Amino acid sequence: MKQGIHPEYKEVKVVCICGESFTAKSAVPSIHVDICSRCHPFFTGKQKLVDAEGRVEKFRKKYAKKAASKK
């Protein structure tokens, strides 16, 4: 590898809008994020699965017929 062309990789403080902060490694001096693992709906359990087009139900109906016919 060439010397002197790579940025310095150091520990930085990551701050979320919700107030959570933690350290990570980056070439950027500080990081401000809009959402983190503390406030993200997937990790808090508040996420809702939205099936606007009915694809899941369509899949279940399609393969329920095949599974029933095999039995």
**Domain enclosing residue 30, as ranges:** 10-70
Mean pLDDT rounded to a whole number for the chain: 82
Residue the block writes with tokens 């039995």? 71
Mean pLDDT of 7-21: 91
The answer to whether the CB of 29 falls within 8 A of the CB of 9 is no
Predicted pLDDT at 26: 94
CATH number of the domain where residue 51 is located: 4.10.80.400
pTM comes to 0.52
Question: Would you call 48 helix, strand, or coil by DSSP?
Answer: coil
Residue 43 forms part of a structural domain: yes
Residue 4 forms part of a structural domain: no
- Judged against a pLDDT cut of 90, whether residue 11 lies above it is answered with yes
Q: In what order do the strands lie in the sheet with 31-33?
A: 21-26, 10-16, 31-33
Residue the block writes with tokens 């109906």? 61
Count the domains in the chain: 1
Residue 49 forms part of a structural domain: yes
